[in-house]
Structure formats: C-alpha cells, structure tokens
C-alpha cells in the first residue's frame, strides 16, 4: 500500500508539472521584422554597448545612467541587489566616488556571446557575455576578475535602454582571495624573517649573559 501511495503521489506531481509547463514554456511571438530591420536593431544594441563601455571608462555617471530605465533591476558584482536609478547611483557613489570610496579605479570590458535575442517584435532584447573587471582598492589591493553577465534591454522612445543586469563570478576561482594572498604573504614572510632574526640575537645575548654570570 505505501508503494501504491508513493507512486500515486509521484504521478500527481508529474501531472501537475506537465500542467504548468505550457504556461512556462510558451515561445515568444515570431518576429515580423525583415533582415534589414533586425540588423538595424542589432547595430543599435552594439552602439549602446560601446557607449556604456566608454561612459564607464570615463566615469561619466550622467551618461551611464541615461542608458538605463528608471526602474532598472541591477545585481552588482558583490551580489548587492539594486532597484531603481536612485539606488544604483547611490551604490556607485559609495563604491567609486568620494574620500571614503572603496574602489579608486576600475576598468571593465563587455564581450557578448552571440547576437542579442529579440522579443516583442524587436522591442525587448536579452544579451549575455563575458567581462574582465580590473579594480584598484583604496586599501592598496589590485586585482582583475573574470565575470559573466546577463542584461535585458527595452526600447524607450526609439532608443535601447538597460532594464536589468546581473553580474556573476566563478565561486570556485576566487580572484580576490588570490590577490589578497599575493598581498599578504610577502608581508607575513618579512615579519617572520624579522621575528626569527630578533629571536636569534636576543637568545644569543641571553646566552652570553648567562656565561658571564650576569
């Protein structure tokens, strides 16, 4: 009897999932655009990528945030979720600007994997790709990190804007840990050598004092 009940439960779960699949796996409506229109949209997306890369490199904050939607959903490289331009700008200011900023300099590349996937007859696009981000921290640490990103873009008044973006890093290859080790171990090695030398000379001095009767 328990076996029959377990099988019935499994069948019920499978049927439930099958009932859910059509709603989740609906294909987007096919594009009615001709090849020239698709190429124009892809070129506009490439132009947005190039403009964003240039704005980040020049730290042109106003330009950067003019290319995102007001309600942007953004997951930063340190896994902080941000919603809206105001929150995103506050995060940027905290990390990159001012006397107490954490990062003093940053460069990043954006390399898409393939052409953006178009939806809603060319009104929405999804793009994925690789980045290499190089950082200089106020604490003196410097490192580069390979990243993956996914972005959703929408048409707004005839222009593409970033509606959401998510960065991620390989948790099994931690560049920060390697950079920290590279920064700390020489310091620890120097301290160890100094400690050994001090111990040697102090011990030698004590032995001489004992032999001299002091």
Q: What is the pLDDT of residue 109?
A: 92
Averaged pLDDT for residues 154-163: 92
Q: Closest by alpha carbon to 115, among 42, 24, 176, 174?
A: 42
Average pLDDT, integer, range 198-207: 52
* CATH number of the structural domain 33-173: 3.10.450.50
pLDDT at 128: 97
What does the pLDDT look like over 97-131, one tens digit per residue? 888 899 999 899 999 999 999 999 999 999 999 99
Most confident of 27-31, 34-38, 200-204: 34-38
For the chain, what percent of residues have pLDDT higher than 70? 66
- Residues 61, 18: Cα–Cα separation, whole Å: 47
What was the pLDDT predicted at 140?
87
Look up the pTM and report it: 0.68
Residues 38-54, buried b or exposed e (16+ Cβ, 10 A)? eeebeebbeebbebbee
Return the pLDDT at 203: 53
Give the tens place of pLDDT for each residue, 24-35: 444 455 678 899
Provide the pLDDT confidence category of residue 58 given band limits of 50, 70 and 90: very high
In this prediction, residue 65 has a pLDDT band, given cuts at 50, 70 and 90, of very high
Q: Where are the domains of the chain?
A: 33-173, 175-209
Q: Which residue has the higher pLDDT, 67 or 10?
A: 67
Beta strands in the chain (DSSP E): 68-75, 81-83, 103-108, 111-112, 117-119, 124-137, 142-156, 159-169
Classify residue 25 by its DSSP letter.
S
Arithmetic mean of pLDDT over the chain: 78
Whole-angstrom distance, CA of residue 111 vs CA of residue 71? 25
Half-sphere exposure of 199 (CA within 13 A, CB side): 6
Per-residue confidence (pLDDT) for residue 157, from 0 to 100: 83
84 against 77, higher pLDDT: 84
Q: For strand 68-75 and strand 159-169, is the pairing parallel, antiparallel, or unpaired?
A: parallel
Between 149 and 77, name the one with better pLDDT: 149
Burial class (CB in 10 A: 0-12, 13-18, 19+), 68: buried
pLDDT confidence of residue 209: 52
Q: What is the mean pLDDT of residues 123-146?
A: 92
CA–CA separation, 120 vs 123, rounded Å? Answer: 5
Q: What is the chain's length? A: 214
């Amino acid at each position: 009897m328990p076996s029959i009940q377990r099988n019935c439960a499994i069948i019920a779960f499978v049927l439930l999932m099958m009932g859910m699949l059509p709603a989740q796996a609906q294909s987007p409506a096919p594009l009615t655009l001709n090849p020239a229109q698709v190429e124009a949209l892809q070129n506009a997306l490439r132009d947005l990528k190039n403009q964003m890369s240039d704005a980040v490199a020049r730290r042109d904050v106003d330009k950067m945030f003019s290319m995102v939607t007001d309600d942007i959903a953004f997951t930063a490289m340190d896994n902080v979720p941000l919603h809206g331009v105001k929150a995103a700008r506050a995060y940027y200011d905290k990390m990159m600007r001012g006397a107490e900023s954490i990062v003093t300099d940053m460069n990043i590349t954006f390399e898409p994997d393939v052409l953006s996937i178009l939806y809603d007859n060319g009104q929405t696009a999804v793009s994925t790709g690789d980045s290499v981000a190089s950082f200089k921290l106020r604490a003196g640490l410097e490192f580069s990190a390979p990243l993956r990103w996914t972005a959703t873009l929408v048409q707004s008044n005839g222009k593409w804007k970033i509606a959401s973006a998510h960065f991620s890093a390989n948790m099994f290859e931690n560049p920060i840990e390697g950079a920290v080790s590279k920064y700390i171990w020489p310091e620890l090695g120097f301290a160890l050598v100094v400690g050994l030398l001090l111990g040697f000379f102090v011990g030698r001095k004590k032995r001489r004092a004992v032999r001299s009767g002091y």
